[in-house]
Amino acid sequence: MANSKVIDADGHIIEQNDVLRSYLEPPYDRRGGPLAFQEPWDGHLGGTLPKNREWCRRDLKAEDWLRIMDEHNMELAFLYSTGAGDASRLRETGYAKAFCRAYNNYVHDHWAKVSDRLKPVALFPQQDPEAAALELRRAVKELGFVGASIKSVGLQLPLGHRFYDPIYEEAEKLGCVIGIHGTRNGAHELGAGMFETFSEVHTVAFAVGIFQQFTSMIFQGVPERFPNLRLAFLEIGCTWLPYWLDRMDEHWEKRSVETPHLKRRPSECVRARPIYFSVEAEEKLIPETLKYVGEDHFVYASDIPHWDNEFPESMHTIQAREDLSPEAKEKILYKNARALYDL
């Protein structure tokens, strides 16, 4: 198993904002101030985190990614935005459209064109779903992207709302992925606004944001209305699923009249549809979660180059776990990512 190929289903790009800014089209190329939302926290804890990981530099480039991949037998890396993902929070619709277009062009030039092993994931302007569908089509058809992602905060409406149907309809037609990514930004929206430490905000906000959007999308029947739409819920691990789906099942059984587009238990919907979740290597209840949901729904994420990533230990830990079968490990580390991204 140690020599098996790995696909990173969720790595990251730390955007170089001066370069990204140069991709903005008029009149936004003259715009001052920050490109997107900025938060006050010191995630790197005075420069002490991460420890001894030279690939966690904030100026990590495509060539650095490829070297890491070669050293650790990684076949492909799917690269999500970092700060630029806060396009979901922008209030100016025109600027949101211009920003997403600029980001997609930027990562295409600086990552996708460098190597076909680097697979950036696009952004779309959720503020205008019709425009978002058009940008998604451009990103897939013209730039060759595998799909797009959105953060869990800043949205006018939860992601299960029919407002977003043009995006899901287009994604299903294109056969591409929609990734819903956890975040700590918008702590006041995620039940973490009263905290005074980064640790508390980070612990709560990432999970709650995914809980909100996952609950909305399942109860409002997005996977049932778009049965071939591939969805990924990323960055909070997977062992929350048995608890949360049991809770959702109970509410569906008692109040299914409120979820007319969901004709079966939420847990049954998730098991039957192409819905995926990233795992955290040290989660103790991964075997029980795989048994509950099914082995085909889980993928590996390095989270390079974020401050809390544990690569390559995370990869080696999964490879060495004795409570997972060789088949389950291969699915998590490789096969399921190929299915998620339709390779």
| Domain ranges within the chain, ordered by starting residue | 6-340
- Which helix (H) or strand (E) segment holds residue 122: the answer is strand 122-123
Distance, in Å, from the CA atom of 191 to the CA atom of 185, rounded to the nearest integer, reads 11
Reported as a single tens digit per residue, the pLDDT across 127-171 is 999 999 999 999 999 999 999 999 998 898 999 999 999 999 999
Q: Is the predicted pLDDT of residue 209 greater than 90, yes or no?
A: yes
Cα distance from N-terminal residue to C-terminal residue, the chain: 21
Mean pLDDT of the chain: 93
* Amino acid type, 179: G
pLDDT-wise least confident of 1-10, 36-45, 197-206, 250-259: 36-45
- pTM equals 0.95
pLDDT at 51: 64
Closest to 157 (Cα-Cα) out of 247, 222, 64: 222
**Across residues 285-304, what is the average pLDDT?**
97
> Into which CATH architecture does domain 6-340 fall?
Alpha-Beta Barrel (3.20)
Task: Give me the percent of the chain exceeding a pLDDT of 90.
Answer: 80
3-state secondary structure of 180: strand
